[in-house]
Amino acid sequence: MLTRDDRTLSDGLAVVDAVASLGLPHIGFKDTGVDHATLRLLNQRIRASGARSYLEIVSTERSAALDSARLAVDIGVDGVLGGTWVPETLALLADRRMAYYPFPGLPLGHPTVLRGSPQRIMSDCQRFIAQGCAGVDLLAYRAVEAAPLDLVRQARQALGHHGRLICAGGIDSIERIQALHTAGCDAFTVGSAVFSGAFCRGTLQDQLTTVLAAVDGGVGTARPP
């Protein structure tokens, strides 16, 4: 994710160019931090690099979140993450057949924290799949009312074999990636952690190479459909 502290980087275009040689298959950004014109350019640059593009909705007010879904359609991203107004968002994305992964539980604030028990997470996941979502975007390590991995395990059970479980937020070590994989996570996002040097010493490219090595070694996966 081209983000830091839940905001899209102002120099995201330059970052895409700087990491192009790594061949990242998936690159995303959020609906905050830069204007819509910049997000459009960012999406174009990501897709030109050969990667699939994703917009994550972090707005917690209904009208703003739905405006972000409309923006996703307008600029032509490949997938949409986040948000909580599921039927309305699915309706907006339907013509483009975009895969949608909403937030289960109750995300609040900015940077976002996640409220909700494991039972709430399970119920939301079941409901979202029944409504036609491709899976969920779980803010496991942002949880304030439950243990993160308990939420992951409940979400995995609720989604079964067909729903994709993406985890986002606070994934700042190989150990956390390992734990998510063991608990049943299909994919994860990293943003702030790579830009702050959480995974190793060295450049941004070194950070991403370390994460990709863990993924390729079977520790986790970063391949949402």
How confident is the prediction along the chain (225 residues), in pLDDT tens digits per residue?
A: 999 988 999 999 999 999 999 999 999 999 999 999 999 999 999 999 999 999 999 888 999 999 999 999 999 999 999 999 999 999 999 988 899 999 999 999 877 899 999 999 999 999 999 999 999 999 999 999 999 999 999 999 999 988 999 999 999 999 999 999 999 999 999 999 999 999 998 999 999 999 999 887 654 444 333
pLDDT on residue 153:
97
- Could you give all domains of the chain from N- to C-terminal order, each with its CATH number? 3-215 (3.20.20.70)
Distance separating alpha carbons of residues 175 and 4, to the nearest angstrom: 21
Q: HEC profile for the chain?
A: CCEECCEECCCHHHHHHHCHHHCCCEEEEECCCCCHHHHHHHHHHHHHCCCEEEEEECCCCHHHHHHHHHHHHHHCCCEEEECCCHHHHHHHHHHHCCEEECCCCEEECCCCEEECCHHHHHHHHHHHHHHCCCEEEECHHHECCCCHHHHHHHHHHHHCCCCEEEECCCCCCHHHHHHHHHHCCCEECCCHHHHCCCCCCCCHHHHHHHHHHHHHCCCCCECCC
pTM: 0.91
Tens digits of residue pLDDT in 175-193: 999 999 999 999 999 999 9
Tens digits of residue pLDDT in 104-142: 999 998 778 999 999 999 999 999 999 999 999 999 999
pLDDT on residue 146:
96
